[in-house]
A and B are shown apart, each in its own frame.
Chain A
Amino acid sequence: MKIKDQFRFVRQNIKKNKVRTGMTILATAMGCTFLIVLASVGYGLQESIVKDTLEQQIVTEIDVYGHISEDGNYRPLTMEDIDVLESIDNVNAVTRRNELRQFPTFSLDEYKSETTTVAAHFPSEIASGMELDEGRLPEKPNEVVVGYHFLDYFVLDVEDENIYDETNGEIKEEYLYQADLIGKTLDMTVRKDEMTDDNEHSIPLTVVGILKEPTREWMQDQKVYISSDVFADVEAYTGTPGGELGVDVNALESTAADSFDNVKVYATNLEAVQAIVDELDDGNYASYSVVSEMKQINMLFTIMKTGLILVGTIAILIASIGIYNTMTMAVTERAPDIGIMKAIGAHPKTIKQIFLLESSYIGIIGALIGTVVAYVVSFLVNLGLPLIIEFAFKEELPEQLQFSMIPVSLVLIAVGICLLVTILSGLRPAKRATQIDVLKAMRREI
């Protein structure tokens, strides 16, 4: 018997009991909708969290905190380590920074600012993606570049005046430095702990460039990027690593730090990150990357999604009881017809196939309807739930938060589970159909 004819048989049989089959399909559809919507919450939250994590971090960036020695102690990274890191395959750049451990005062005419000061290795910074908004990179030791927001905090040195705009809390424009900063010389004043008049040291630095605005809206870059020579000058003046204040100079073994505070490895692409992290692990470097975080997040959500799918499957299992019942009744009702078919030569396999096809048909139609309804429910949940939460709890939710998401994979899983469960529930009635006694069936004794 051809499969096309088997389908025709199934359609004819379903038509005979439209209401009963319809209700069974409805139960299956509800089970399928429940499974998809439930699991879609896991998918939606995962998507939101992953998106949020990726937006807050550069995905190809790997922070390297230090080297772990055999006795388990951390050692800050030195130039030797940088060479090792740069030799790893698919590493695009290794940036290394040292931050001054005090806030120097930068002044020009009557304007001044106290801000974070960083000694950076510019070639690697440029390779990692640092870009200039205007000017050029430093070429001489006393040349610096400043962050994009430096000028937002470079203010007129006035006392007893309210420099802040009360409406938005920002510094009033008239107090900010308005002229072009490129080519101007800033005085960087650093301090040391000695209680003498000579406890301040001023270093003239020429601004040669301003960096581009950070890509993340929420990031502010008001740093001053100095050369390692100037950094060494400060250390020599204060006698402490990074010019740190509040340290007993006499207790230090060395006055200068030959290591780096902040080392970042940049991979050529996202796919290469994991291999680099693995190599760093092998080399006993403590590192962190967004990929590691993603791995943990994805693992957590995989467990959560699996759990939700399992719970959702229970709904389909309940629906399968209906299918079993429908199919059993169908077999009983059609026993005489089955008997006749067997008498004239229908193969038991054909009888079984027809009934399995019928239960699969119910499963597929139910799954398709369930999927469509699930998409509608998911859309309504994403639309309505934030409004309900805002109304009920007076809390505004993040704009990109997605409660429910239905990827194709979830639909395939749900349809697969639905189909499997319906086939399994149709298996016993189908087997029963093949075991029908021809003579009893034809005598209507079943």
Chain B
Amino acid sequence: MITVKQLSHHFVLGKKKQETTLSVLQDISIQVNKGEIVTIVGKSGSGKSTLLNLISGFIRPTEGEIWINDQKVSNFSEAEFADFRLKHMGFIFQSFQLIPSMTAFQNIELPLILNGESESSRKEITLAILDKVGLKEFADHYPSELSGGQQQRVSIARALVLKPPLILADEPTGSLDSETETELLQFIKELNQEMGITFLIITHDDEVAAIGDRTITISDGCIVEGVKSR
């Protein structure tokens, strides 16, 4: 599903003509198979979020290749990556990233709108997914009217609505209490098992890391430990 080959990345910091280079990832190579839940752990600043952002196409790698679904996405233009993200990827963010002026229904409907679905089809799909995440009665609620767990469920529903084969999650339980975290992790496992969705999860939480089929540890931009398989 995902193949990362000798990926390196550095950021250029500072004012013009006084730039300094900060190396974040060095020679990373990983493989994520279809239907797996892979977790990436590491301390803050280890480079795990940068790795996810590179795979997501939010930033361009300095060196190396990223392949997703047999497509070399590291060469994609911004527009190509946007289309690819819409059709092949779902995202779950730590801070949910819901649009505050849109209701739960509208937030979940957004990828369908971007994909050009008809209004009737959008309504049907969105209501079904709201039902699946147990928020049907909260369809017309704005994010500010929902709890953290509910917001994250909306976020997951939005990530799932176009049935992508891959979901990238960046600290998905970072803003949740432990009870909600357990519920959410259970839900992720169900999705993985029922729908065969591949998950790549960034976390520094051992409990989250534990749901993965494999865990990759990154430290100072390098894979420091071999892959732990369960």
Do A and B belong to a common assembly?
Answer: yes
Q: Which of A54-62, A77-85, A146-154, A342-350 contacts B (4 or more CB under 8 A)?
A: A342-350
User: For the complex, is B125 an interface residue (Cβ under 8 Å from A)?
Assistant: no
Q: Which B residues lie within 8 Å of A442 (CB)?
A: 93, 95, 97
A440, chain B: closest CB distance, angstroms: 10
> In the complex, are the beta carbons of B58 and A438 less than 8 A apart?
yes
Q: Which B residues lie within 8 Å of A339 (CB)?
A: 97
**Complex CA–CA separation, A299 to B85 (angstroms):** 59
User: For the complex, is B87 an interface residue (Cβ under 8 Å from A)?
Assistant: yes
Contact flags B52-65 to A (C-beta < 8 A → 1, else 0): 01001011000000
User: For the complex, is A408 an interface residue (Cβ under 8 Å from B)?
Assistant: no
> In the complex, are the beta carbons of B114 and A344 less than 8 A apart?
yes
Given A1-B113, A350-B114, A438-B58, A345 and B79 touching (CB < 8 A)? no
> In the complex, are the beta carbons of B87 and A345 less than 8 A apart?
yes
Q: Which A residues lie within 8 Å of B101 (CB)?
A: 12, 16, 337
CB-based A-B contact count at 8 angstroms: 62
**Complex CA–CA separation, A255 to B195 (angstroms):** 117
User: For the complex, is B116 an interface residue (Cβ under 8 Å from A)?
Assistant: yes
Q: Which B residues lie within 8 Å of A346 (CB)?
A: 82, 86, 114
Looking at chain A's contact residues, is the secondary structure mostly helix, strand, loop, or mixed? Answer: helix
Residue of A nearest to B99 (CB): A337
Q: Which A residues lie within 8 Å of B56 (CB)?
A: 343
Among A12, A340, A345, contact of B86 (Cβ-Cβ < 8 Å): A345
Q: Which B residues lie within 8 Å of A16 (CB)?
A: 101
Among A5, A341, A439, contact of B53 (Cβ-Cβ < 8 Å): A439
Within 8 A of A (CB), among B160-203: none
Q: Which A residues lie within 8 Å of B91 (CB)?
A: 343-344
Residue of B nearest to A9 (CB): B113
Looking at chain B's contact residues, is the secondary structure mostly helix, strand, loop, or mixed? Answer: helix
B165, chain A: closest CB distance, angstroms: 14
Contact flags B69-99 to A (C-beta < 8 A → 1, else 0): 0000000001100111111010101010111
Given A349-B79, A438-B58, A1 and B114 touching (CB < 8 A)? yes
> In the complex, are the beta carbons of B83 and A345 less than 8 A apart?
yes
B52, chain A: closest CB distance, angstroms: 11
Q: Which B residues lie within 8 Å of A5 (CB)?
A: 113
**Complex CA–CA separation, A438 to B115 (angstroms):** 19
**Complex CA–CA separation, A442 to B56 (angstroms):** 14
Q: Which B residues lie within 8 Å of A342 (CB)?
A: 82
Residue of B nearest to A4 (CB): B119
> In the complex, are the beta carbons of A347 and B82 less than 8 A apart?
yes
**Complex CA–CA separation, A348 to B79 (angstroms):** 6
User: For the complex, is B127 an interface residue (Cβ under 8 Å from A)?
Assistant: no
* Chain A interface (Cβ < 8 Å from any Cβ of B): 1-2, 5, 12, 16, 337, 339-350, 438-439, 442
Q: 7 shortest A-B CB distances, which residue pairs?
A: A345-B86, A345-B85, A438-B58, A347-B82, A5-B113, A337-B99, A340-B97
What are 20 contact pairs spanning A and B, CB under 8 A?
Answer: A1-B116, A12-B101, A16-B101, A337-B101, A339-B97, A340-B97, A340-B99, A341-B114, A343-B56, A343-B97, A344-B85, A344-B158, A345-B82, A345-B84, A345-B114, A347-B86, A347-B114, A348-B79, A439-B58, A442-B95
For the A-B complex with A344-B111, A442-B97 known, give 11 more contacts whose Cβ atoms are closer than 8 Å. A5-B113, A337-B101, A341-B110, A343-B58, A344-B85, A344-B114, A344-B158, A345-B84, A345-B86, A345-B87, A438-B58
